[in-house]
Copies of this chain bind each other. A is one copy, B any other.
Amino acid sequence: MTKFCITILGCGSAMPTTLHNPPSQLIEMNDKLFMIDCGEGTQLQMRKFKARMSKLHSVFISHLHGDHIFGLPGLLSTLSLLGRTADLNIYAHKEIDFLINPFLTYMGNHISFKINVIPINPHSEEIIFENSSIKIHSFPLNHRIDSNGFLFEEKKSASHIIREMIDYHKIPYHMIYNIKRGDDFITTEGDVIKNETLTVPGTPSKKYAYCSDTAYDPDVVKYIKNVDLLYHEATFAESENKRAEETYHSTASQAATIAKMAEVKKLVIGHFSSRYNELGVLLKEASLIFPETELASEGKIFEL
């Protein structure tokens, strides 16, 4: 399988600080970059962390609070200045028109590529992108306004055929493709050689899930079951759990509880409130419930 990694461009929340930028991250899969959320300064963070603008495939917006979208006009302008010609798909709630339409009107003929806004469904899980090797789902979260999480999934790779079995059974070259995909082999004598004796399973497909912004909600578990990496917001420490509830955000221990229920391999927490200069308390509270927890930070790369 090719590289599958997540670069954190910003893991702050509504109020930017000198420590954390507004939310944005890049998912690299199959040499393409998918962006989730685009807070103010995202294009500057891409430059800082040397992300290739030309590799940007599409953008996924979780919800329409300013800290998740105010970097879009600048990013789109810069892509145009760089001469991008490929369409850019923006997957977002349809109300994003409020931002995109005036931008397009104002830019007039000066934008070098086409922007397609693809509305996402705030009420149920959907596959929103699929090609031969990648599948991307969106699913509902539980926030003050419509908010969606995203699941990035590698497609199951074909099995590997066992070289010695090709020789032993004299399997013709043209049959290998289908055997890798599950067929049994039938000899010229009519004997059936079971697929499982001919192959070993391919590389396991990996999964990454993004859940931000959201209140604590066990309903999300079914969408993110067993993922290799879960990014879940942890805006507050447990001492602020009332504030978390009021604002439809999560505490670090709630993020960890979701990770535990979903039996994910690893949890990354982010979307930190500007009140925390020091994140030790969030990490500690989450790790008590789910030890495989790590703090997000700008520039950090998580490889799956």
Interface residues of A in 63-108 (CB under 8 A from B): 64, 66-67, 70-71, 73-74, 77-78, 81-82, 95, 98-99, 101-102, 105-106
Residues of B near A71 (CB, < 8 A) are: 40
Residues of B near A214 (CB, < 8 A) are: none
Q: How far is the CA of A74 from the CA of B18 in the complex (A)?
A: 15
Least distance between A159 CB and chain B CB atoms (Å) = 45
**Contact A70 B78, CB 8 Å, known A48-B18, A99-B102:** no
Q: Mark A32-64, 1 if CB is under 8 A from B, else 0.
A: 000000001101100110000000000000001
Least distance between A217 CB and chain B CB atoms (Å) = 23
Q: Do the beta carbons of B73 and A77 come within 8 Å of each other?
A: no
Least distance between A56 CB and chain B CB atoms (Å) = 15
Q: How far is the CA of A101 from the CA of B98 in the complex (A)?
A: 10
Residues of B near A82 (CB, < 8 A) are: 15
Least distance between A120 CB and chain B CB atoms (Å) = 18
Interface residues of A (CB under 8 A from B): 14-18, 21-22, 40-41, 43-44, 47-48, 64, 66-67, 70-71, 73-74, 77-78, 81-82, 95, 98-99, 101-102, 105-106
